[in-house]
Structure 1
Amino acid sequence: MTAIYVDADACPVKAEVERVGTRHKVQIYVVSNGGLRPSPNPLVENVIVPEGPDIADMWIADRAKTGDVVITGDIPLAAKCVEAGARVLKHNGEALTQANIGNVLATRDLMADLRAADPFRQGGGKGFTKADRSRFLEALERELRAAARA
């Protein structure tokens, strides 16, 4: 049975996950350190983990398995979930797979090194757009259909 795991802290697509997951009748775990409004949807379980670095990530990584879908922007978590056989999507709809996770991890590490070397380097990535939200919805739909066929 497919489940969706959402790394919910700072996740801009929780409502979209709930809408698509409900349409597919899939159990959804929204994992955070707290502070999120619980959903009345019986398919959505809010999981509150203790404060601490990567506690939510560890909770998801310990449970995600082949056929599940994980929504996260955390690249180390994504790598663990891909290794476990889960389908992983970033918030902008980009799929993280066996074929690309190594490059994505390497790029993340390189960018962290560049930021550490230049303390005046400001700014982050691009803002989250309507196009990102649309791509995410299409990608989640595609991943859930593929999981159902598998």
Structure 2
Amino acid sequence: MKIYVDADACPAVIKDILYRAAERKQLQLMLIANHALRVPTSKYISTLIVNSGFDVADNEIVQRCQPGDLVITADIPLAAEILAKGGQALSPRGELFTKDSIGARLNVRDFMETLRSSGIQSGGPPPLHQRDRMAFANHLDRILARSC
């Protein structure tokens, strides 16, 4: 199993959890972004810088992901593509996307996009809380325990 991170919007605290997990489990962790990232020196951690543009990083992640790999992303359409390829998707807030839940999540996302495009201000996501970090770490540990 490899872990891919949609790193442009991934919070630093979540990346830190992933760095420790990659070292502990000796798993390949690749952070994909459209800008340079600072990561610890490790034979398990790498970065890939892609060109800027709509869905360039997402497309790279989809292309690289194999069945059983884990992708860390808050991007619902990307999570849906990963699940369709047989991968696993986990949000930085600790939400494990599943084939059963992804359809409803896509509908909510599309509805919110429609509201925003019609001029309704929906605000951004709430700040990342300790409970979100704990949910992420717990789900990650369960996934790694099953896979490694």
TM-score (norm 2): 0.94
Corresponding position of 2:7: 8
**Root mean square deviation, CA, Å:** 1.2
Q: CA deviation at 1:21?
A: 2.0
Matched, 1:62 2:63: yes
**Mapping 1:35-74, distance limit 5 Å:** 35-74=36-75
- 2:99 & 2:39 partners in 1: Cα distance? 33
The structure 1 segments of at least 4 consecutive aligned residues displaced by more than 4 Å after TM superposition are: none
Tell me how far apart the structure 2 counterparts of residues 23 and 109 of structure 1 sit (CA, whole Å): 38
Q: Percent of counterpart pairs with the same letter?
A: 38
Residue of structure 2 in register with 1:88 after alignment: 89
Counting only pairs closer than 5 Å after superposition, residues 1-150 of structure 1 correspond to structure 2 as 2-12=1-11, 13-117=14-118, 119-148=119-148
CA distance in structure 2 between the aligned counterparts of 1:58 and 1:67, rounded to whole angstroms: 18
- TM-score, scaled to structure 1: 0.92
What SS does the aligned partner of 2:9 have?
A: coil
CA contact (8 A) 1:88 1:95 kept: yes
CA contact (8 A) 2:93 2:133 kept: yes
Structure 2: 5+ residue stretches without partners: none
Unaligned ranges ≥5, structure 1: none
Does the Cα contact within 8 Å between 1:69 and 1:144 map onto a contact in 2? no
Residue identity matched to 1:7: D
